[in-house]
Amino acid sequence: MKSEDTTSDDFRKLFTEDNNLYLLSFLLTANCEEAERCFVAGLADCVDGNPVFKEWASSWARCIIVHNAIRIMALYIIPARSTASGSHSADEDIPKTPLQNPPIGSVLELEDFERFVYVLSVLERYPTRKCAVLLGTSSQQIVETRTRALQHLAEFANRRPLHQQLVFQAKRNVSDDCRHRAFHEPQCS
């Protein structure tokens, strides 16, 4: 049985129907505009890139999203900054999450490097060594940062007051508008 290569239309369909690719972009960048840039660049890279087997299309697209997010966020995902609190976009007046889901909001509260380590090593299940290579650091730094991120997430879960949860839910409509623009409005060339 011969495997078929993924076509440009297959990738377009994958990026259109799989909201998890946008969510991955958003979790890595923690910023609606940067997530949109990462997502659109990922689609372009998949469509214009080397052909892959259809069975690998989703994994390939996720890998492209990760690489684009690392490139876009390179100035912010430096291990030495991992002791600072909050992400680079923490002070921006941009909605923090496209979903009404407190765990996602907690992930977005992590410092940039911690968030990348957590998303890659825990959510995406990348091996420690692969995370270290992608993020330009040691395996030990990845293990320590993952531990710290998990501790911070536990702290966030225990201290999130009700009023923050209500504000978080109220921002959902604004965030949904941002995500809608990423899928439905034409992009400038």
122-143 pLDDT tens trace: 999 999 999 999 999 999 999 9
39, two tokens: 């997502």
First to last CA, the chain: 41
CA-nearest of 165, 184, 177 to 32 is 177
CA within 13 Å, CB half, 62: 16
Instruction: Scan for tokens 């999130």, then name that residue.
Output: 160
Average pLDDT over residues 55-80: 89
Residue 51: closest CA among 17, 3, 1: 3
The CB-side HSE value for 148 (13 A sphere, CA atoms) comes to: 20
Banded pLDDT at 147 (limits 50, 70, 90) = very high
Q: Mind listing the pLDDT tens digit for each residue in 3-52?
A: 688 788 888 888 888 779 999 999 999 999 999 999 999 989 888 887 88
pLDDT of residue 151: 94
